[in-house]
Amino acid sequence: MQLAKSAMLVSANVVNGGLLGERKDDKASALIEDTYNVAERRTKASKFLIDRKHKSVKQVVAASQRVREVVYKYTMPWGDDKTRLLPIKLIDTFKVKIGTALAELEEARENYLTHYPSLVSDSERDLAELFDRSQYPTVEKARLLFKSKVTYWPIPDSAHFIAEIAEESANEAREMIKREIEDRLIEASYDMVRRAKEVVSIYVDKLENYKPAKPLTDDHGNKIRHWGTGKVETEASNGTAFRDSLVENVKETARLIENMNLTGNPEIIKVVKDLNRLSGFAAYHLRKSDNIRAQALSAGQQMLVNLTMLDLKDQEVSDMVTDASDYMDM
């Protein structure tokens, strides 16, 4: 397998420094120490320079999260830093999606900057004696605190690193690089399993909790029809309804995983096959037919068992996934 021809590396860096965020306040910290007789530097009082609940701030945070979602949807983990593995088959789609997400982020930032002067005035009122004008840059300087960058690299060739070193060291280097690449590809495979488990778990949960709405009847057992359309009236279902997107999400996940299977791993090929089987049950028939729904549910439950057996490695929580209320530095 020539990995360099099958994938490339990508990283996305999003910094929302213009939102200003949280700052320690020495005056408030000293007041707490004096009031409660606390030892020096054992407490910290902080303030948010800008109102985090303002709509324009939330829009920037949400748009930043969408950038992350695109990166995570179309790429796989690669090593311990923020670099991700992007299959060549997905690069055109990725560039379109990330371009749209970054444009939406830029628009949200510009909208925030139009509100920025009034937000500063609001902070002066709300923070009162804790307000410090020197902590608030001008609009133009605040704009410079926002940064977005997507960087692409080719997969390094081991020969590039070892051309100038002794044969024994070169052999050691080749083996080390080979093991590292193998480990990272295994990690990428587990990421594909995680994606499959996530979408199948939702699929199974929706089917397990779905209860078709029953037709309403009058005192004589006759079905009640809508006076305008003539359609049979139904009672509200107590179960969890599902939309056509339930099946579409399974189908899209299968397509993504198929393109991400750079090594042609037979286990991943089977995962894709099983996902395609699930997506073969039309949402309309799943809602209307108890028999078809039971077949799909059984297939989904069995797939979860199979995926759990494959998922043998603990997944670390990535530092790119943060609480949406925090100001991100991706």
* The last residue of a domain, from among 155, 176, 206: 155
Q: In whole angstroms, how far apart are CA 44 and each of 31, 47, 136?
A: 10, 10, 21
Residue that wins the pLDDT comparison between 174 and 159: 174
Q: What percent of the chain has pLDDT over 90?
A: 51
Per-residue confidence at 231, pLDDT binned at 50, 70, 90? low
Mode of pairing for the β-strands spanning 84-87 and 76-77: antiparallel
Residue 328 is assigned to a structural domain of this protein: no
Residue 84 three-state SS: strand
Residue 320 is assigned to a structural domain of this protein: no
> Same domain for 212 and 144?
no
Average pLDDT over residues 288-313: 85
Residue type, 120: V
Q: What is the pLDDT of residues 271-285, one digit of tens each?
A: 999 999 999 999 999
Average pLDDT over residues 24-51: 83
Burial 293-328 (b: 16+ CB within 10 A, else e): beebbebbeebbebbeebeeeeeeeeebebeeeebb
Residue 160 is assigned to a structural domain of this protein: no
pLDDT for 136: 95
pLDDT for 325: 32
Residue 327 is assigned to a structural domain of this protein: no
Number of domains in the chain: 2
Residue 173 is assigned to a structural domain of this protein: no
Residue 20 is assigned to a structural domain of this protein: yes
76: nearest Cα among 15, 149, 3: 3
> Same domain for 144 and 194?
no
Average pLDDT over residues 213-220: 60
Residue that wins the pLDDT comparison between 24 and 257: 257
Residue 79 region, left (φ>0) first, then alpha (ψ -120 to 50), else beta? left
> Same domain for 151 and 242?
no
Residue 69 is assigned to a structural domain of this protein: yes
> Same domain for 279 and 206?
yes
> Same domain for 221 and 81?
no
> Same domain for 127 and 74?
yes
> Same domain for 126 and 195?
no
Q: In whole angstroms, how far apart are CA 136 and each of 22, 110, 222, 259?
A: 12, 17, 70, 47
Q: What is the pLDDT of residues 125-164, one digit of tens each?
A: 999 989 999 999 999 999 999 999 999 988 765 555 445 4
pLDDT for 240: 58
For residue 232, pLDDT over 50 is answered with no
Chain center to CA of 53: 22
Alpha-carbon distance 258 to 262, whole Å?
9
Residue that wins the pLDDT comparison between 236 and 118: 118
> Same domain for 147 and 36?
yes
> Same domain for 101 and 52?
yes
> Same domain for 217 and 136?
no
Q: What is the pLDDT of residues 79-138, one digit of tens each?
A: 766 789 999 999 999 999 999 999 999 999 999 999 999 999 999 999 998 999 999 999
Residue type, 256: L
14: nearest Cα among 52, 70, 55: 70
Mean residue pLDDT of the chain comes to: 81
* The last residue of a domain, from among 155, 181, 216: 155
278: nearest Cα among 264, 293, 290: 293
Q: Which residue has the tokens 């999606």?
A: 97
Q: Which residue has the tokens 């939406």?
A: 104
Residue type, 177: I
> Same domain for 93 and 199?
no
Residue that wins the pLDDT comparison between 258 and 225: 258
> Same domain for 243 and 148?
no
Which residue segment(s) compose the domain that 73 sits in?
Answer: 3-155
267: nearest Cα among 312, 200, 203, 318: 312
Instruction: Tell me the pTM.
Output: 0.72
